[in-house]
């Protein structure tokens, strides 16, 4: 059976602070890039707000999508 969480993989709890330090380093190593902290452009802020309001905060996105994924998994099994 595949591990389903970082806690299962690491065999210990991991807090957000630790994750926020480790995750960028992992991306840098895996993709051989250097991440630079910056701010969103005005256009990116606008897109972000629209996605939050019209997609990510909707019932369909948060609940229906999960149910559809579970149904799809059952079909594959």
Contacts of 19 by beta carbon, 8 Å cutoff, 6+ apart: 6
Which pLDDT score, from 0 to 100, does residue 64 have? Answer: 85
pLDDT in tens, 29-66: 999 999 999 999 999 999 999 999 999 999 988 888 76
DSSP 8-state class, residue 37: -
Q: What is the pLDDT of residues 19-29, one digit of tens each?
A: 999 899 999 99
Give the DSSP letter string of 28-71: HHHHT---------HHHHHHHHHHIIIIITSHIIIIIHHHHHHH
């Amino acid at each position: 059976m595949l591990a389903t969480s970082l806690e299962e993989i690491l065999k210990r709890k991991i807090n957000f602070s630790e994750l926020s330090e480790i995750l960028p380093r992992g991306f840098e190593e895996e993709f051989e890039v250097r991440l630079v902290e910056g701010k969103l452009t005005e256009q990116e802020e606008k897109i972000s707000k629209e996605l939050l309001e019209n997609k990510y905060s909707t019932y369909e996105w948060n609940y229906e999508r999960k149910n559809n994924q579970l149904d799809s998994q059952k079909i594959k099994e």
